[in-house]
Chains A and B, each alone.
Chain A
Amino acid sequence: MSFLEKAVNAGSTALFLQRNYEIVRQLLAKGLADKGFILEPLSKAVEREWVRKLLWTALPQREIGLSGAFMYVPPGVSLRAPVSMCFVVSEGAQEVHNVLVVGEGSELVVTSTCTSAGAGAMHGGYTEIFLERGAKLDYVMIHSWTEKTQVIAETGVVVGEGASFNDVYISLKSPRALRESTRIAVRRGGSALASTLYLAGSGSSTLETVVTLEGEGASAEVVSKVVTTSGSIVSQPITIEARAPNAKGHVECRGLQLSPDSVLETIPALRSTRSGAYLTHEAAIGKISEEELAYLMTKGFNAEEATNMLVRGFLELGLKSIPEPLKPQISSILDLMARFATG
């Protein structure tokens, strides 16, 4: 048994690693398999009719193959250690379609890491997530790209009755061009929290989030924090739409421009088609405050250290809920982002 297999078994968790179109590792703790937990290539999962029927029901259909992962968490399973999925493109284009189904009352944390290396030119990631009644999922996407890569990332989520979805999207290094779109439908009594932390380098990025509050008492909060540097062109359209009474939603979009040579556009939109919903938004774009810099310098931080701290703080404050096991990792990522932001 390899070290990884031992770790996966000991942590009672699962791992899926794909490079280009090759599945490099696919590990599932024995205890989980015995409970009916499934982690396997989508191409195999579609042998089940119910899985075939599920495809492209949370996202608009795309004409791509069956590369990617399928995960099914049976009802009543609670995992402590995060399940890890990782996708690397190192040659040409990679298109993956992932499907996650979390059964009634189950709770888990999933990390999805996507990155490019070498001659990786294009990554298309399409992920559909289904949370059944009362399920709870922390879904943490961590992306880091080379400047040569072009990225399309689409995520469609159905949050079932009373279910809870915590989506964290962190991008350390942006690609040449990115179109990221997250669509979340929240059913009765369900809740969604979607947080984006995006460090934009040179290149264009669109970060779109659309949440529909479909059921009575559904709620959502969308927080987007974008830092632009030289040559960044970023647009962040965010919409919450309420279609049911007592639905509640809030949008917060904030941008920090570190370079005058960047373009940042935030477009928060609220739409209600039923009375009795309560929707709010706030948006702001600014630069590093001279007063805050001066304050930190009186505490002994030079200009670079103070800027780092303010960038890190700006990003960190966008994270309203971090899964406990990932706190140290995310803290290190925030340190890195602050360093990258200030060169």
Chain B
Amino acid sequence: MLLKVEGVSIEVDGRKVVQGVSVEVDRGEIHVLLGPNGSGKTTLLRAIMGLPGYNVIEGRIVFEGRTLNGLEPYERARLGIALMHQNPRPLDVKLSHLAREISKKYGSSLDMMRDFALDSLMEREAFKGFSGGEAKKAELALTILQRPKLAMLDEPDSGVDLESLKLVGRTINKLAEGGAGVLLVTHTGAVIEYLRKVTAAHVIVRGRIVMSGDVETLLEAVKRKGYEALARGGLL
């Protein structure tokens, strides 16, 4: 198994945001995390990445058989875990330099930036004044430059146009076909129709996984009943 999250509870600013979550992602699998705003989806990804302030107070996170608890984010990244941030803040670094340094570190090709039509942004400060769609594409491209074994994608489909949505879908499919595990957070589910095969979906409400299963079934149930009703009464 590539990633095992075992009974993990996460505290942020002294408040328990995620409680007893377990999820497993294997190579080539795509897992979708669904849930309302503030349900703990992003917190879970950040804690797996080891970001400061996201404290795992119970359970453990295991990657390729190795417990991650206590490892710095850069150590986790070097093991093959990549996080595509939902809204990266503007950096005091040119996008071209950032991309070059990441590609040097992971031995990847910068062609990715061209494939994502990012040429015109390369000499600008990364993410400064980027439109929502530009920021998503740039951050996704940087994530791919890391050649991840596990790609955690935090809402790559929010605020992007239809063309970009297709590109995001194609990229996720390619990642999985290349053997990477994908943990995808989506608020709207917009990208799902462009994915060839989703292994499983998980619904998180108020920090707990309340349901796991087939993505179409869960999406349909969410549309029909809403997250809160699902959390209270299940699919029926």
Q: Which residues of A contact B (CB under 8 A)?
A: 289-292, 294-303, 305-306, 309-310, 312-314, 316-317
Q: Are A309's CB and B93's CB within 8 A?
A: yes
CB-contacts of B31-51 with A (<8 A): 49, 51
Q: Are B102's CB and A300's CB within 8 A?
A: yes
Check B16 for interface membership: any CB of A closer than 8 A.
no
Would you give the shortest CB distance from A197 to chain B, in whole angstroms? Answer: 13
Q: Mark B66-95, 1 if CB is under 8 A from A, else 0.
A: 000000111001100011010011011110
B78 — which chain A residues lie within 8 A by C-beta? 300
Q: Are A298's CB and B101's CB within 8 A?
A: no
Candidates B73, B89, B98, B106; contact of A298 at CB < 8 Å: B73
Check B142 for interface membership: any CB of A closer than 8 A.
yes
Q: Which residues of B contact A (CB under 8 A)?
A: 49, 51-52, 72-74, 77-78, 82-83, 85, 88-89, 91-94, 97-98, 101-102, 105-106, 125, 142, 146
Q: Are A299's CB and B142's CB within 8 A?
A: yes
Q: Bound state CA distance, A291 and B146, in angstroms?
A: 20
A312 — which chain B residues lie within 8 A by C-beta? 93, 97
Q: Which of B89, B91, B102 lies at the interface centre, i.e. has the most chain A CB atoms within 10 A of its CB?
A: B91
Q: Are B74's CB and A297's CB within 8 A?
A: yes
Would you give the shortest CB distance from B123 to chain A, in whole angstroms? Answer: 10
Q: Bound state CA distance, A299 and B141, in angstroms?
A: 12
Find the B residue at minimum CB distance from A295.
Answer: B88
Q: Are B94's CB and A292's CB within 8 A?
A: no
Q: Are B106's CB and A300's CB within 8 A?
A: yes
Q: Which of A295, A296, A300, A306 lies at the interface centre, i.e. has the most chain B CB atoms within 10 A of its CB?
A: A300
A302 — which chain B residues lie within 8 A by C-beta? 72, 74
The 7 A-B residue pairs with the shortest CB-CB distance, nearest first, are A313-B93, A300-B77, A297-B73, A313-B92, A297-B74, A314-B92, A298-B73
Q: Bound state CA distance, A314 and B142, in angstroms?
A: 20
Q: Bound state CA distance, A319 and B226, in angstroms?
A: 52
Q: Bound state CA distance, A289 and B85, in angstroms?
A: 17
Q: Are B97's CB and A298's CB within 8 A?
A: no
Candidates A295, A300, A310, A317; contact of B89 at CB < 8 Å: A295
Provide 5 A-B residue pairs closer than 8 Å at the C-beta atoms, listed in order of the A residue. Answer: A289-B92, A295-B89, A297-B73, A297-B77, A313-B91
